[in-house]
Structure 1
Amino acid sequence: MRYELVIFDNDGVLVDSEPLSNTILAAYLTELGHPTSYEDSLRDYMGGAVHRVHDTVLERTGRRLPEGFDEEFHARVFAAFARELEVVAGVPDMLAKLVAEGVPYCVASSGSHERIRVGHHKTGLDRWFPEGRVFSAQDVGRGKPAPDLFLHAAERMGVAPEHCAVVEDSPLGVRAARAAGMDVYGFTAMTPATKLGTATGYFDDMGQLLGLLA
């Protein structure tokens, strides 16, 4: 293994949450008078923290989202997670191989700590990501595409950025990893490689990842 730390995005990489959360976000924004399709939501918000939604709506319309937007959105998402969320195929086997090889890893997500915990508990990933290996945009203030979150995770894990590999599935995440000076591998299960920018490499099956990292 040529890396000293593997940093995973969460939504869409570890848990198959992007279809659920973007369907809910598009419907909620439309309900509030900001017509948004599922495709619009993926394009504009996938991989970003919730403040990106506020900033984008304000910039485009001059109107602020209502107080309580975050709480209502998260309540709807968590309810959907409880019903339907699944782990991304191949993730537990891939993590087991990383552990067997003694390669440190962590998660760095634009989602809140609560969102990460809810999803990991539902899918059983909490056993793979104990406290100390979970980092959220809440920890740094500026979410992706700023590099802050990935740099924070690397610092907390005690590894220099140039020795880290990031696994991402969104253009915002790829940009953030590049800005942090890290190699980044684009997971193309939902987003084609042509839209992921300048990733170091691309893969569409978790079984392929360790070969790329070796």
Structure 2
Amino acid sequence: MTGIIFDFNGTMFQDSPLHEAAWFEMIAKYSSKTLSEDDILHHMHGHTNDEILKCFISEDLTDAQISELSLTKEANYRDLCLQNPDNLILTTGLIDVLDHLKAKKVPMTIATAGIKENVDFYFDVFDLGRWFDYSKVVYDDGSFPGKPQPDIFLKAAENLALPPQACLVIEDAFSGILAANRAGIGTVLAIDPTGQNREKFAASDLHINQIISDFTEFPEVV
């Protein structure tokens, strides 16, 4: 049986512009660095907040400073989400996919670089408890290195009681796909709704089985 591990941000929920806006505001406040598209692709999306803060603000931030800045950024991001209620929806086709997987009793969970406060927000706003066991969700709790290290997907596979090679991961971020490769995930799907990353994905050495635009193109796994 194949287990499904979903990334969340930019995959289940098309919120990348909102995360970017919150990060741009914070980085502009505390740093003079200018962010390039490459910085955003390789050093922002998919990474944990402490890694992003150390990369773009300062390597010398204390744990207390990182915690405070992280909570501030995520609170700002959630406010942006609520300010755009028309866009506070799951990715096209996803609800049908989740309903189908649940009906077929396919093991599935979420592995996100987001923090617990955001996961709580998503479970409330999107009623994710219809499909997912909260206790099996993997999020940034500070206990393991973030993507592109494989730990997050190894932990998610363990939560599903499956070996990594028996799992399918769906990701939107370069770092997340690299983490899935390093974890030995059997099938890796990339989602690229706007088409802006397809050439970069294709030109990389990443192992990607399929690139989809939304969940209406999700493969039949059972």
**TM-score, with structure 2 as normaliser:** 0.84
Aligned residue number for residue 46 of structure 1 = 45
Deviation, structure 1 residue 210: 2.6
Q: Is the 8 A contact 1:10 1:116 kept in 2?
A: no
Of 190, 203, 206, the residue aligned with 1:186 is 190
1:111 aligned counterpart, secondary structure: strand
Q: Is the 8 A contact 1:177 1:184 kept in 2?
A: yes
CA deviation map 1:95-126 (0-9, x unaligned) = 01111222111000011122122123223334
- Alpha-carbon separation, structure 1, partners of 2:60 and 2:163: 41
Of 29, 32, 35, the residue aligned with 2:30 is 32
Matched, 1:195 2:190: no
Of 12, 22, 26, the residue aligned with 2:10 is 12
- Alpha-carbon separation, structure 2, partners of 1:6 and 1:32: 38
Aligned in 2, Cα 1:27/1:36: closer, same or farther, shift over 3 Å? farther
Matching of residues 47-196 of structure 1 within 5 Å: 47-57=46-56, 64=61, 67=65, 68-84=68-84, 85-138=88-141, 140-182=143-185, 183-190=187-194, 191-196=196-201
Aligned in 2, Cα 1:119/1:38: closer, same or farther, shift over 3 Å? farther
Could you tell which deviates more after superposition, 105-114 or 120-129? Answer: 120-129
The residue type equivalent to 2:190 in the other structure is: G
The residue type equivalent to 1:204 in the other structure is: S
- Alpha-carbon separation, structure 1, partners of 2:101 and 2:219: 8
Q: Is the 8 A contact 1:140 1:149 kept in 2?
A: no
Task: Report % sequence identity.
Answer: 24
Q: Is the 8 A contact 2:41 2:173 kept in 1?
A: no
Aligned in 2, Cα 1:109/1:168: closer, same or farther, shift over 3 Å? same
Matched, 1:208 2:205: no
Unmatched runs of 5 consecutive residues or more in structure 2: none
The residue type equivalent to 1:194 in the other structure is: E
Which segments of structure 1 move beyond 4 Å, counting only runs of 4 or more?
none
Deviation, structure 1 residue 138: 1.7
Deviation, structure 1 residue 130: 3.0
Q: Is the 8 A contact 1:4 1:103 kept in 2?
A: yes
The residue type equivalent to 1:80 in the other structure is: L
Aligned residue pair count = 209
Deviation, structure 1 residue 63: 5.7
Deviation, structure 1 residue 37: 4.6
1:186 aligned counterpart, secondary structure: strand
Unmatched runs of 5 consecutive residues or more in structure 1: none
Q: Is the 8 A contact 1:167 1:186 kept in 2?
A: yes
